[in-house]
Amino acid sequence: MTLRLDTDDSEDDRDQAIEERRPVLPKQKAIIIPGPEYEEDGEETTTAPPPTRDSDGRLRFEGRWEGVFTPNVTPQEMFEGGAFGGGFFV
């Protein structure tokens, strides 16, 4: 039984043959889609008042989120409780 080892020359020939068979694809240009344009109405935006706590401990927001978004902890309380690194979500 004869064991034949490939030399560097045959490996180079193989790589060259692969390159010759590989189709050349044209380079693509990135298409940048512009975002929406907003008209400036000249009005200043106001921030909403901070939420208050109900008797059951839930936060109550005014305006658009009233009765819809009622979490029982603030973001600060979540982090202090160990969220994203502690045992909060385990």
Residue bearing tokens 């790589």: 15
Segments making up each domain of the chain, as ranges: 50-90
Q: Are 81 and 73 in contact (CB under 8 A)?
A: yes
Round to whole Å and give the CA distance between 63 and 44: 17
Dihedral over Cα of 41, 65, 78, 74: its sign: positive
| pTM (global) more than 0.85 | no
Give me the pLDDT at residue 58, please: 92
More confident: 75 or 5:
75
The pLDDT mean for the chain works out to 76
Residue 3 has pLDDT above 70, yes or no: no
More confident: 71 or 80:
71
Pick the closest to residue 57 from 78, 71, 77, 75 (CA basis).
71
* pLDDT, tens digit (0-9, with 9 covering 90-100), for 8-44: 557 777 777 776 776 777 777 878 888 888 777 767 7
* Residues in contact with 38: Cβ distance below 8 Å, sequence separation at least 6, in sequence order: none
